[in-house]
Amino acid sequence: MMRRGAARVRWNRAVAVVRDLEERCATPAALLQRVVNSLAIEMFAGLASEGGSKVRMLLTCVDTLPDGSEEGTYYAIDLGGTSFRVLKVELGAGSTIINRKVEHQPIPEKLIKGTSDDLFNFIASALKNFIEREGGEDEGKALGFTFSFPVRHSSISSGTLIRWTKEFSIEEAVGKDVAQCLNEALVRNGVNMKVNVLVNNTVGTLALGHYFDEDTVAAVIIGAGTNACYIERNDAIIKSLGCLTNSGRTVVNVEWGSFRPPQITLTPYDICFNNEAWNCYDQGFEKMISGVYLGEIARLVFQKMAQESDVFGTAIDGLSTPFILSTPSLAAIRKDDSPDLREVGKILEEHLKLPDVPLKTRKLVVKVCDIITQRAARLAAAAIVAILQKIGCDGTLCGTTKVRTMRGVRKRTVVAIEGGLFQGYSVFREYLNEALIEILGEEIAATVSLRVMEEGSGTGAALLAAAYLSTKQNSM
């Protein structure tokens, strides 16, 4: 009897850990609306002055987007993580991509922490080999460069690196013009090309979305990392009045990963990330949403459960290894709907070295993964609505009214979206869409379309290279 009582106490401790997590991660619609307002305010502040906001609101110098009239063959390089992509895109009239060839190239670890010359030489060499295999010509071809790290642009084709994110740590590259670094490497490798467009992955995704649908006003990345960009009126960009083009609009890179919603209480598991050596700058919003972190949050919760009880048995050393549980594994756990949660047991054994986990514990594991997924998706939805509110597409007249109402002619709003977390995790998508309806209301939500863009970041860079080459030729 005493043993059963002690076991029940230990079990209740594990349950208490999960309940505490659920309470801390709760995101009711009213709370999400306050997050919307906070991010919108930060966006206004970031457009008013440099360094005046938690979100950088970087000006991309992109004032022309593809409209479907572009034709010809264009190349692009897409660098945003520990691998990069080289693309060849053939365009026909009427928003037609005749052919698209994409080649993935992993980056050796020594180059991620080496020198800028070595990194860009490697990329230039890969492009040269790709062109030769494709039987193409490099003479005079426009090159789009997607570089998905924070950059301060000085023109559409140049920009200095502000800082690295993710695993990269080439310190001497910070402050350098990354387009110039690539151009110099192209010369060293005998490639007769030059970067004519420098963008990040969000801008590339926006370009592809706009190529197919002119109602596309923003783009969102929800994958290993998260960020967004959108089309802003030039007269709203106070910090650069008089320095912008005559087109009347500019694409703004929000850099919302650094947003820290004051309404959201950090859990003990979020706080752990503040002490990590890798990626130690404050990317609070990204750490609650993106694919790099969700699996790790779950691992930390499981570790706490193991410390408080014996629900995982005694062989729990596997729970001590940081980032051993990937977000795809978390997604597979959450999606397991078999009666015995067989896939959950398999993942726990193979990835966390936890054999023979009882069914009732597996159910708790699924619950943890669900809580973490739901919070992430709902916060992502709030961030999307903040952009819609900023540009007057959410029914509040740019946040000046509290009640969302359809005014005037019903107009579509399209948000291009890319990233493995959104595209590959159906439960995440469902939670995000539910939250959009909760915040916006069914009438306004029905006017908002999230459109997935395959290979958007790289293809979009090629499309922008085409659009700007055409603009330059027409102005001659």
pLDDT (0 to 100) of residue 473: 46
Model confidence at 140, in pLDDT bands (50, 70, 90)? low
Domain coverage including residue 102: 63-212+454-469
367: how many CB neighbours lie within 10 A of its CB?
17
Residue 172 sits in a domain whose CATH number is: 3.30.420.40
**Lowest-pLDDT range, 30-44, 133-147, 317-331?**
133-147
pLDDT (0 to 100) of residue 8: 81
User: Crossing angle of helices 426-440/359-390, nearest 10°?
Assistant: 50
Total number of domains in the chain? 1
CA–CA separation, 308 and 285 (whole Å): 28
> Torsion-angle region of residue 303: left (phi > 0), alpha (psi -120 to 50) or beta?
alpha
Q: Is 73 part of a structural domain of the chain?
A: yes
Strands 158-161 and 58-59: unpaired
Q: Is 76 part of a structural domain of the chain?
A: yes
Q: Is 179 part of a structural domain of the chain?
A: yes
pLDDT (0 to 100) of residue 277: 45
Q: Report in angstroms the alpha-carbon separations of 444 from 51, 213, 312, 436, 460.
A: 33, 19, 46, 9, 28
pLDDT (0 to 100) of residue 215: 95
Please check the confidence at residue 469 and state whether its pLDDT lies above 60.
yes
Q: Is 241 part of a structural domain of the chain?
A: no
Side-chain-facing half-sphere of 230: CA atoms under 13 Å: 28
Give residue-wise pLDDT tens across range 31-47: 999 999 999 999 999 99
Q: Is 109 part of a structural domain of the chain?
A: yes
pLDDT (0 to 100) of residue 239: 85
241: how many CB neighbours lie within 10 A of its CB?
10
pLDDT (0 to 100) of residue 381: 98
pLDDT > 70 fraction of the chain, expressed in percent and rounded: 89
Q: Where are the beta strands (DSSP E) in 207-270?
A: 216-222, 226-233, 249-253
Give residue-wise pLDDT tens across range 423-434: 999 999 999 999
Please check the confidence at residue 392 and state whether its pLDDT lies above 70.
yes
Q: Report in angstroms the alpha-carbon separations of 313 from 7, 91, 359.
A: 12, 59, 13
Chain centroid offset of residue 77 CA:
18
| More confident of the two residues 309 and 166 | 309
Q: Is 288 part of a structural domain of the chain?
A: no
Give residue-wise pLDDT tens across range 169-182: 889 989 999 999 99
Q: Is 189 part of a structural domain of the chain?
A: yes
pLDDT (0 to 100) of residue 314: 83
DSSP 84-115: EEEEEEEEETTTEEEEEEEEEEEPPHHHHTS-
| More confident of the two residues 53 and 380 | 380
Average pLDDT, the chain: 89
Q: Is 150 part of a structural domain of the chain?
A: yes
- What is the mean predicted confidence (pLDDT) over 241-252? 76
